[in-house]
Structure 1
């Protein structure tokens, strides 16, 4: 009976993998809600779960979408403002003028610049901005697509101001010290992999004969991002990628300007056209302001963070046993949904949507001299882009809530028990692959952590492995899964005008992902 329970519990996940990877794959906004519905039906008719509790988890899952989707919307809106106003072209021209060395260009734009963008917004933004710049420099689109997918892996654990970590593991109710331990170990494993992964990515665009004489610069550029990234992760899980990328971008640019670690070989496709300093500062101002606001609102000692998180209730109403409240800092909460223990909350001013994204956009519009038509286009484009991700995330969150219902007999616990009995204490070698699988079918490290964080937690407890290390490996796996994620591959291919090459790209990116998994398994086991 226990075996049948496990098979039934795992069936929705296996079905999800099948329908999203078959020849005519289902898109995530159809597959995830469908599998969520199936999971709910299994809970009702096989596990005889409380229907009222399932309904409460459904409501909580739908409402929980507000956190990640508002961040995504803010990030896309800012990027559309930069693109439509022409600021993005100014930034691109500046990046193009820094060095004639093609390796330097690839590291500055494809590595450091994308690293910073991942930390600020995530959700595919780095490839969307960096990849077209590289194609404009004369690199082949198919090669750029592969490089962008591989490069955008190391910073993903802390993408969108740490969303995959602090929101991805929110359902586990971990304390701050535990999250910091996961943060520290994730950053260390990613940083070790960072010595290898960018070099493998470069190999898809340039030859070894060009990489070798520039290896000094490559390693310095890698370290300029990963060293501050790892240091920051010791005490913060929101800024490592954002500030690590910003520091790395500055250092990589300075090194390239001085020619440090670079060969004298030039790429005639690149230009040295200079950008006026005034125009550059105006174009960069929104990004600089974004980083500054994030820093100011996240450092406890400055006091602003406390103001944004005040939970003193100023308004509350009981609706048939369900209690809705609003706090002093506009934290929206719903407790005892349908008279159950299920609850939900949204930190309106702290979630990086209104502050800083919307605030920066409001300031940037007059600064960039945008017309009403341009502003309307930016908002309309943003609305169009978030429709399907909203449905996908709702499906994922509902499915996760359903799979965690049932205590020791919940589907997640049963699956974890099966995994642990097969691998035992060797699970640390495989944990990252489960995280990668989550990103592969969902297109999001956050969704991967939401989906498999509970399973990883249960496995760690059952086989006696450190929970923080296993969750760190889950986070790392979710990051490396971006390389082979179908959604990401389709997105970057569409942006670059590549048609019907998804299978070819997966065949190329899966090799670096396997290398990443081996490194993660070895380093994770050493940490244990």
Structure 2
């Protein structure tokens, strides 16, 4: 009976993957609603779930889509403002003046810059900002979408100022020593994977020959991020990605500027040494870069708890609220919207309007940039209309994905997702460390968040470690690293980056491309985990 329950729980996932990756693949806005409906039917008729509880989870899923879609809309809007105003082309010319080498551009923006952004914000912000910049340099959008997803894995464990660690593992009652042990081992696993993962990402955009010719620069750029990343993780779990990425970005720019480890391109071999068209007046460059600089500064300032602004933006003190038939709606003083006891169930929802990076910083930066970049009324209308047009179908896809996630997690220890996890652990026994990371990836695949993956599966991983006699810190580190690697195949992230880059109906294709690097990441995690468990 347990086997049949696991099989029927896994069927909607397998169906979804097949629908999105078969020869004539269905787009996500069709495949996801089908899968969500199937999970709902299974919950209702096989697991005997309460109808009201299912309805409450549908409402929660629909409301939850406000978070990712508002972030996507904000990112698209900023991108359209930069593109329509001409700032994007100015930035592209400046980046070419640093280096016309494609590898240098991909590593500076797609790796180091995105690494820093992940440390500051998370929420899919790295791909939302870095990917359009690379497309602006002339790279193919679909290839860049794949590269951005693969690259944005290593820093994720410490994304959004360490949220997956300090919040994702909060319920496990670990002491500070254990948390630092988990953080250090997570950073070690990710750092080892970093020797391979960026190279695999680059292969989707450039040739192996170009990678080999520039391998010294690639390795130096990787190490410039991962060395400080690992070192900081040994004594702090909030800033490894943020500071590691900032150091890596500066070092990578200096290396590229001096041509260290890079093969010279034709333009750089010219007698003047620089591609003439790439030279940008300083004042023009400052105005073009100001929106991005402002975006990063606001992200950092609003994410560091010690500065006090984060507390103001997340204050839950109720401003006003009212009851509607047993469902309580409230708005906090920091404009946190909350709905509790949906349909008189335990299901709830909240949206931190000032903290989710949609209004602050995306919309705020856009409003500042419009006069700064001297945009006309018609340009502004074009930017907003383009944004609205692009988010229509992703809205359906994301709503269906979030409803499906809610359904899969409904039932506590008897939920479909827990049955699948328990089946994995019962089959592997004391060899669990080889598979632990893949469970973390499964959590991210569903939820779209490394933090949610840690919240969901952290307790299971801890329980399995105790049952089979494995070190708890090592297994939790594998869970955390796995949650990061799952970012590559996460449906929410794929929809987000595709929408921002204007790519339609390619979600299944992207999953097929990113799953192999994720599996490679998992094997590396398993090997490192083997040593962590043994020693």
* TM-score, scaled to structure 1: 0.83
Aligned pair count reads 514
Residues 25, 508 of structure 2: 8 Å contact kept: no
Alignment of 1:367 onto 2:372: yes
Residues 213-362 of structure 1 mapped to structure 2, 5 A cutoff? 214-230=214-230, 241=241, 244-262=244-262, 265-268=264-267, 271-272=275-276, 273-362=278-367
Matched with 2:480 is: 472
* CA deviation after TM superposition for structure 1 residue 69, in Å: 1.9
Alignment of 1:76 onto 2:80: no
In structure 2, distance between residues paired with 1:406 and 1:386: 32
Residues 207-218 of structure 1 mapped to structure 2, 5 A cutoff? 214-218=214-218
Secondary structure class of the residue paired with 1:469: helix
Residues 436, 478 of structure 2: 8 Å contact kept: yes
In structure 2, distance between residues paired with 1:59 and 1:288: 38
* CA deviation after TM superposition for structure 1 residue 143, in Å: 7.4
In structure 2, distance between residues paired with 1:500 and 1:213: 31
Compared CA separation, residues 19 and 455, structure 1 to 2 (3 A): farther
Alignment of 1:128 onto 2:136: no
In structure 2, distance between residues paired with 1:319 and 1:123: 39
Matched with 2:191 is: 191
In structure 2, distance between residues paired with 1:489 and 1:348: 22
In structure 1, distance between residues paired with 2:239 and 2:165: 12
Output one character per residue of 1:286-331: Cα deviation in whole Å (capped at 9) or x when no partner. Answer: 1111111112112222221221122221211111111111111111
In structure 2, distance between residues paired with 1:432 and 1:95: 37
In structure 2, distance between residues paired with 1:72 and 1:458: 32
Secondary structure class of the residue paired with 1:39: helix
One of 406, 413, 424 as aligned partner of 1:408: 413
One of 442, 450, 454 as aligned partner of 2:456: 454
* TM-score, scaled to structure 2: 0.82
Matched with 1:10 is: 10
Compared CA separation, residues 50 and 461, structure 1 to 2 (3 A): same
Runs of at least 5 residues in structure 1 that lack an aligned partner in the other structure: none
Secondary structure class of the residue paired with 1:97: helix
Residues 334, 345 of structure 1: 8 Å contact kept: yes
Runs of at least 5 residues in structure 2 that lack an aligned partner in the other structure: 269-273
Residues 143, 204 of structure 1: 8 Å contact kept: yes
* CA deviation after TM superposition for structure 1 residue 90, in Å: 0.7
Residues 437, 481 of structure 1: 8 Å contact kept: no
* CA deviation after TM superposition for structure 1 residue 239, in Å: 6.4
In structure 2, distance between residues paired with 1:356 and 1:455: 31
* CA deviation after TM superposition for structure 1 residue 202, in Å: 4.6
Q: CA RMSD in A?
A: 4.0
Residues 183, 237 of structure 1: 8 Å contact kept: yes
In structure 2, distance between residues paired with 1:181 and 1:377: 51
* CA deviation after TM superposition for structure 1 residue 476, in Å: 2.6
Matched with 2:271 is: none
Secondary structure class of the residue paired with 2:334: coil
Residues 335, 353 of structure 2: 8 Å contact kept: yes
* CA deviation after TM superposition for structure 1 residue 348, in Å: 1.4
Residues 412, 455 of structure 1: 8 Å contact kept: no
* CA deviation after TM superposition for structure 1 residue 194, in Å: 1.4
* CA deviation after TM superposition for structure 1 residue 235, in Å: 7.9
Compared CA separation, residues 387 and 458, structure 1 to 2 (3 A): farther
Residues 84, 379 of structure 2: 8 Å contact kept: yes
Matched with 1:44 is: 44
Matched with 1:34 is: 34
* CA deviation after TM superposition for structure 1 residue 392, in Å: 2.1
Residues 78-227 of structure 1 mapped to structure 2, 5 A cutoff? 78-101=78-101, 103-116=103-116, 121-123=125-127, 125-135=129-139, 150-156=150-156, 161=160, 165=164, 185-202=185-202, 214-227=214-227
Matched with 1:429 is: 434
